[in-house]
Amino acid sequence: METRTAIKGAHMNATANIEIRNGKPSDHQSIVSVMPDWWGGRDLSSSVLKIFFIHFADTTYVAEIGDDLIGFLVGFLSQSDKDVGYIHFMGVHPEYRRAGVGRRLYQRFYDGCAANDRPIVKSCTSPINKLSIAFHLRMGFEIEPGDGIVDGVPVTMDFLRANDPKVLFRKELRKK
């Protein structure tokens, strides 16, 4: 007899039906149109350039249930550091958070990194984004030392622009 543990969240039972596929150029418009909703009104869509979906489609992923977009990850293989895969942006539909969608998107990116001999994954987030910091720590990322501290967390002050501290994450996918 099969028993099923009750899981919190309106859509948890649907997560078994999540399909993850590579991104394509036509995904860009769908993604930027939901971003303000997914980020609580902040419009960060200018960072999610369509060129990622054209020229970095092989390390960019979309999570769907049927035809509904529930998550995406934009990543690339660093040209400057041949050991590094970089996660530029990841987002999950608010109603599907804490259901493992982000974990599955990251794991697909790890697979892409492994297939391209990239043993190190890097990412960053704002120190205000406590959920993202907790997510990266659960996923086994280390926080890089940086040159400042915000709310007790090491940050790099000018990483993506002047006076905009970021928490830098690093994870080794396999030990050599």
Q: Is 67 helix (H, G, I), strand (E, B) or coil?
A: coil
- For residue 159, state whether it binds its own copies (rule: CB under 8 A): yes
Q: Could you tell me where the DSSP H helices lie in the chain?
A: 27-38, 51-55, 101-115, 130-138
In this chain, which of 17, 43, 68, 78 binds its own copies, going by CB under 8 A?
Answer: 78
Q: If you ran DSSP here, which 8-state letter would residue 125 be given?
A: E
Separation between Cα atoms, residue 88 and residue 61, nearest integer Å: 12
- For residue 72, state whether it binds its own copies (rule: CB under 8 A): no
Nearest approach, Cβ of 28 to its own copies (angstroms)? Answer: 8
In this chain, which of 152, 162, 174, 175 binds its own copies, going by CB under 8 A?
Answer: 162
Separation between Cα atoms, residue 87 and residue 136, nearest integer Å: 11
- For residue 158, state whether it binds its own copies (rule: CB under 8 A): yes
Part of the chain binding its own copies (CB under 8 A), chosen from 7-15, 41-49, 61-69, 101-109:
41-49
Nearest approach, Cβ of 31 to its own copies (angstroms)? Answer: 12
Distance of CA 146 to the CA centre of its chain: 21
In this chain, which of 14, 20, 34, 57 binds its own copies, going by CB under 8 A?
Answer: 57
Q: How many CB atoms lie within 10 A of CB 1?
A: 2
Enumerate binding residues for its own copies (CB under 8 A): 28-29, 32, 46-47, 49-51, 54-59, 76-81, 84, 86, 88, 158-162
